[in-house]
């Protein structure tokens, strides 16, 4: 385990990237090197009794390094960005209080952005309204957003798409949404690789999931929890037409692969455009060296 000269009480590592890129393996490696504990940042891994389609860390991986926010909800319950921010902050405080390094790992961009930038902290009661407003604003062009900002006479330095949406959210829901920005320092490590390579990793992972029981897991949801939030996730919902006799199993598996590939593209776009993530190519010869340099520089920094 590496010793860090200046591990302060406010530093957090975030590992972000598309599905199947290797976030789990890297997070465990980092946790072992720097005495860390892992916080799940994926919207589906919070649910109990679904392990294959949600791509949770294995039992042995979870035994090797403490994990948080995995298996914290029953299948009948919901989980929101507001819930994630609240419970992740509790886990962060606990980990830091014991002198450990929090490592947040996930591909749910809204959750990570919400934690880092303070979104959705005005209270759970606002969550659905805020989500509806966000969806509406996301359909607008930059020019339309900027016109709305101008109409409200909002002053925004270096106006861009993201800041315009944020300002309009605050204007609607009040100042309580902007006074909860995290006082922690975050280092975001983005993982990516060439698209054909990533797509092949996704296809192979789906095949592996099928081999170890994904279909049985999907059938359990179909039979008992068809309206649950997790049942709408990629990797489960594609099998429902098959169970209804409307699609072949081969077509359902291909739908899982296709939707997973499309989702990976959306994840990358989110992290690039919303969070300005600087991606590292997982297949670069100096990948591990670059990651270690970033982490050690971040942890050694006295600011």
Q: Annotated binding residues for ATP, as ranges?
A: 17-24
Question: Annotated binding site for substrate, which residues?
Answer: 19-24
How far apart (Å, rounded) are the C-alpha atoms in residues 12 and 92?
A: 8
How far apart (Å, rounded) are the C-alpha atoms in residues 142 and 163?
A: 11
Q: Three-state SS across 18-86?
A: CCCCCHHHHHHHHHHHHCEEEEECCCCCCECCCCCCCCCCCHHHHHHCCEECCCCECCCCCCCHHHHHH
Contacts of 44 (CB under 8 A, 6+ apart): 50, 53, 54, 230, 233
Neighbours of 48 (CB within 10 A): 13
Question: Annotated binding site, which residues?
Answer: 17-24
Q: Are 187 and 294 in contact (CB under 8 A)?
A: yes
Residue 256, φ and ψ in degrees, nearest 5? -60, -45
- Report CA dihedral (294, 61, 33, 106) to the nearest 10 degrees: 20
138, 142, 152 from 164: Cα distances, Å: 10, 8, 11
Nearest to 265 by CA among 202, 189, 188: 202
Counting Cβ atoms within 10 Å, is residue 45 exposed (0-12), middle (13-18) or buried (19+)?
Answer: buried
3-state secondary structure of 14: strand
- What tokens were used for 118? 């303070």
- What tokens were used for 98? 């014991």
């Amino acid at each position: 385990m590496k010793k860090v000269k200046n591990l302060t009480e406010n530093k957090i590592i975030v590992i972000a990237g598309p599905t199947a890129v290797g976030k789990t393996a890297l997070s465990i490696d980092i946790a072992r090197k720097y005495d860390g504990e892992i916080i799940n940042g994926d919207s589906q891994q919070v649910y109990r009794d679904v392990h294959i389609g949600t791509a949770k860390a294995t039992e042995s991986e979870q035994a090797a390094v403490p994990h948080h926010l995995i298996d914290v909800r029953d299948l009948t319950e919901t989980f929101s960005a507001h819930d994630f921010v609240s419970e992740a902050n509790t886990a962060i405080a606990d980990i830091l209080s014991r002198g450990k390094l929090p490592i947040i790992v996930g591909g749910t961009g809204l959750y990570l952005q919400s934690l880092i930038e303070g979104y959705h902290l005005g209270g759970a009661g606002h969550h659905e309204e805020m989500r509806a407003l966000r969806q509406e604003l996301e359909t607008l062009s930059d020019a339309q957003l900027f016109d709305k900002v101008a109409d409200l006479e909002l002053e925004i330095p270096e106006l861009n798409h993201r800041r315009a949406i944020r300002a309009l959210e605050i204007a609607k829901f009040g100042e309580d949404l902007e006074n909860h920005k995290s006082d922690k320092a975050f280092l975001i490590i983005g993982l990516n690789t060439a698209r054909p390579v990533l797509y092949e990793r996704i296809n192979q992972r789906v095949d592996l999931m099928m081999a170890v029981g994904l279909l049985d897991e999907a059938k359990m949801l179909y039979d008992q929890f068809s309206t649950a939030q997790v049942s709408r996730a990629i990797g489960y919902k594609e099998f429902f037409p098959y169970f209804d006799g409307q699609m072949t199993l081969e077509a359902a598996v291909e739908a899982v692969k296709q939707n997973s590939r499309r989702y990976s593209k959306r994840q990358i776009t989110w992290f690039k455009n919303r969070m300005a993530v600087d991606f590292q190519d997982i297949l670069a010869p100096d990948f591990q060296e670059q990651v270690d340099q970033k982490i050690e520089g971040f942890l050694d920094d006295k600011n």
